[in-house]
Structure 1
Amino acid sequence: MEKSNTDARVHRMFAGDRRWAVLAVAVLWATYAFVFWKVVPNAGSPEVVYALAFAGGVVLLFNSASIFAMLKHYGEDKEHIYGLDLHYLDLLRGKKG
């Protein structure tokens, strides 16, 4: 497989994946905020609200951290990760690589 450090397709693929990942994290946070906002009036006691906030915060923290760690890894190794995809896409399209 031929490896090119200047293949613009690699950078475009990574940029697209990064945009979708950040959008997914934003949607996750918005969903949790909306659900929390709707549930709080029915929670009963402040202790329940604190427990819900803490549990939701932990879930958001770990999910966000995992997505950003994935993006960091993809950014460091994008030539290999996306290069393989492009190699096989080129083969499917009949291009010589």
Structure 2
Amino acid sequence: MDQTSEQGAAAPGMAARIDRMHGRDRIGALVFVLVLWCVILFVLFSIWPNINNGAIRTILAICGAGVLVLNTAAIVAMLRHYESDKQFIYSLDLMHLDEMRRRKRS
């Protein structure tokens, strides 16, 4: 069997592996954003009664909202980029993982 037919036979398996890896990364990123929102809001509501200065409350609320909005936007942008370029990104990762496994077995 020549190399082109071997690559063609491996391509469907590689595509499935790429989709699985991308799916896990997507879930991980979404869980991270959800946990980030929960933690920031928990901290804000936990310390809110202890802050008597209105200016400090405003600054904390604005900064907390800024952290949440910017981090959420960054994760969404990353997920969109990964979706459009996942074949390139994940095929390299899988190639290196396969090579590390081969070396470990040797």
TM-score by length of 2: 0.79
Gaps of 5+ in 1: none
Gaps of 5+ in 2: 1-6
Query: Could you say which structure has the higher helix fraction?
Result: 2
Q: Which amino acid aligns with 2:58?
A: Y
Max Rg structure: 2
Cα distance, 1:92 vs structure 2: 3.2
- In structure 2, the residue matched to 1:63 is 71
Q: How does 1:34-73 map to 2 (within 5 A)?
A: 34-73=42-81
Aligned length: 93
Q: 1:20 aligns with which of 20, 28, 31?
A: 28
User: % of aligned pairs identical?
Assistant: 41
Relative CO higher for 1 or 2, CA cutoff 8 Å, sep ≥ 6?
Answer: 1
Q: What value does the CA root-mean-square deviation take over the aligned residues?
A: 1.8
- For 1:40-62, what per-residue CA distance to the aligned partner results, in whole angstroms no more than 9, with x for missing partners? 10111222212110111011111
TM-score by length of 1: 0.85
